[in-house]
Amino acid sequence: MKILSLLITLPLAGALATGLIRNVSLAKKLVLVIAGLELLVSLAALQFFNADDGALQLIEKYPWIPSLKIEYLVGVDGISVLFLPMTALVTLMAMGASWHSVQPLSRLYFALLLMLEGVTIGVLSALDMMLFFLFWELTLPPLFFLIGLWGVGPKRRNAAIKYMLFMLFGGVPLLFAIIILAINHAAQINGTIPHDLTFSFPVLMETRLPDNLQQLVFFLLMTGFAVKAPIVPLHTWLPTVTMEGPAQIAAVLAGINLGVYGILRFAMPLAPTAAVECNWVLGILGAITLIYGALIALRQTNLRRLLAYASVSHVGLVIIGIASLNMQGIQGAIFQLVNFTLVAGSLMLVAGFLQQRLGSTEIIHLGGLARVMPQLTCCYFLFMLASMGMPGTNGFPAELLLVLGALLAHPSLGVTALAGAVLSAAYMLSFARSAFLGAIVQTDVRLSQDLLARELVILCIPVLLILGIGFFPNSVLKINQKTAEAWLSRLLDQPVMEGDELVMNLAPQ
């Protein structure tokens, strides 16, 4: 069963093929077919995945650079498996949204989008740390060109450079941490350096890491992932990219949060002692990010900037959930990450539709949209309510779990999360009031069109999923339950930590 390799290579091959076809419309159709196939294959991967097993599954292993013991090792577990179809879905949606709106060099655009999809799937399924790092850095070139060449703002090139520099800055500590882990493995088994190195994640999990290195590795990994998440104060690239870059790419960036995924998958399990000791730092960082993002979102006059800060704020809530170190917190965090794709991604796409119609998402150019675009407004309101955690949508079970987890772990975190929930209603609704409700002021608005059939189809998929998951949240929770249990017991049942007061408080009942 080589389904993961197929998932990684199919879009990459598609990207190459697009480069060979001269005919633009044919190339676009090919791209759409590839993206659709990718979604089907990723759903098949979800089918093959056995949710009753908390271990890594669908593993493929080949030697890659034998002299350094670097392998091609991929696999998924309950944390990552859901993101495969989500990545495929959000890419497909982004493609649909940019079907006609991307005019110059559209073949290159779609090829880069496919490449981004393949590399993202690679990040999500790589289990060899070097392979992971390769994919991680490979996400940068397509994004650099996508933002810099097809951005909508006048400062798009600057935004592309800013994004690139931030991510390169984050990449350095990651690489350091990976090298430290590999050398430590050789030292622990008293081996020689090139011969006994290993970058395999399952092996590194079993290797004992001395306490002083734990702190260092945790700090380095956290710095690397915090840039991508983003956690305050490393978040400033996100508003710039959403303002200057194309909205579809912003949707992909906000929808698939690789930074938080990295924290969950690598940073915490690889340095478990440090993670448990430092989880209060993580909690405080999450709380600051949550409130900081929400307060700044209150001040925004541009829909895309507002959504960027709303994303930052939501990331803060997820970090709080991870820091609470209990089943509710961790399951809520994974749940919320899945929601990002459906909710944050779709909101960005709606913002893109508005940008395309009106040339701006600034509040003074909007106003009274509900009258001329009732369907778009309905969709926007539903996504907005999901983002606020309204019952009936998928946001509610996730936020409920996160808040309960935070309250159980530490009352202050819970109170902060509740304050964040009030603020999220405030910034979302006060923007919606002046943008979508009220009287029409601009002539452009009066003349603009409601959703086209293509756009309606694109938005209907997340709408159905949002309501479906909101009514049946167990469908998502069952998939990651066993993995979350294993993840948590790895962190909390460490022999060294016995008798520690922290663990007594945080241990699941």
Q: How far is the CB of 127 from another protein (least distance, A)?
A: 26
Closest by CA to 128, choosing from 186, 203, 229, 191, is: 203
Closer to another protein at the Cβ: 14 or 397? Answer: 397
342, two tokens: 């459906």
Alpha carbons 426 and 428: distance in angstroms, whole number = 6
Closer to another protein at the Cβ: 204 or 334? Answer: 334
Closer to another protein at the Cβ: 19 or 391? Answer: 391
Among 120, 302, 324, 328, binds another protein (CB under 8 A): 328
Q: How far is the CB of 405 from another protein (least distance, A)?
A: 9
Among 105, 203, 363, 372, binds another protein (CB under 8 A): 105
x-or-dash pattern for another protein, window 254-293, by CB under 8 A? --------------------------------------x-
Q: Positive or negative CA dihedral for 256, 259, 262, 263? A: negative
Q: Positive or negative CA dihedral for 46, 50, 55, 58? A: negative
> What residues from 303 to 322 belong to the interface with another protein (CB under 8 A)?
none
Closest by CA to 242, choosing from 333, 320, 311, is: 311
Closer to another protein at the Cβ: 210 or 508? Answer: 508
Q: What are phi and psi of 50, to 5 degrees?
A: -100, 110
Burial category of 9 from C-beta neighbours within 10 Å (exposed 0-12, middle 13-18, buried 19 and up): middle
Cα torsion through 8, 9, 11, 12, rounded to 10: 120
Closer to another protein at the Cβ: 197 or 421? Answer: 421
With beta carbons less than 8 A apart as the criterion, state whether 174 and 224 touch. yes
Q: Taking CB under 8 A as the rule, does residue 486 contact another protein? A: no
Among 92, 178, 258, 421, binds another protein (CB under 8 A): 421
Give the number of residues in contact with another protein, rule: CB under 8 A. 76
Closest by CA to 15, choosing from 160, 85, 101, 119, is: 119
> What residues from 130 to 149 belong to the interface with another protein (CB under 8 A)?
148-149
Among 197, 315, 407, 459, binds another protein (CB under 8 A): 407
Q: How far is CA 89 from CA 51, 86, 102, 139, 156, in A?
A: 21, 5, 19, 18, 26
Q: Taking CB under 8 A as the rule, does residue 215 contact another protein? A: no
Closest by CA to 419, choosing from 395, 399, 440, is: 399
DSSP-derived secondary structure letter, 263? I
Closer to another protein at the Cβ: 175 or 425? Answer: 425
> What residues from 423 to 482 belong to the interface with another protein (CB under 8 A)?
423, 425-426, 429-430, 433, 437-439, 473-474, 477, 481
Q: Taking CB under 8 A as the rule, does residue 19 contact another protein? A: no
> What residues from 352 to 371 belong to the interface with another protein (CB under 8 A)?
368, 370-371
State the Cα angle at 313 between 311 and 314, rounded to 5°. 65
Q: Taking CB under 8 A as the rule, does residue 331 contact another protein? A: yes
Q: Taking CB under 8 A as the rule, does residue 202 contact another protein? A: no
Among 397, 458, 459, 462, binds another protein (CB under 8 A): 397
Question: Which stretch of DSSP H or E encloses residue 308?
Answer: helix 303-323
State the Cα angle at 342 between 313 and 54, rounded to 5°. 90
DSSP-derived secondary structure letter, 54? -
Q: How far is the CB of 369 from another protein (least distance, A)?
A: 10
176, two tokens: 């350091």
Q: Taking CB under 8 A as the rule, does residue 107 contact another protein? A: no
Q: How far is the CB of 221 from another protein (least distance, A)?
A: 19
Closer to another protein at the Cβ: 135 or 487? Answer: 487
x-or-dash pattern for another protein, window 230-249, by CB under 8 A? --xxx-xx--x---------
Q: Taking CB under 8 A as the rule, does residue 509 contact another protein? A: yes
Closest by CA to 267, choosing from 319, 309, 327, is: 319
> What residues from 154 to 183 belong to the interface with another protein (CB under 8 A)?
154-155, 157-158, 160-162, 164-166, 169
Closer to another protein at the Cβ: 316 or 332? Answer: 332
With beta carbons less than 8 A apart as the criterion, state whether 117 and 87 touch. yes
Q: How far is the CB of 193 from another protein (least distance, A)?
A: 28
Closer to another protein at the Cβ: 58 or 291? Answer: 291
With beta carbons less than 8 A apart as the criterion, state whether 135 and 193 touch. no
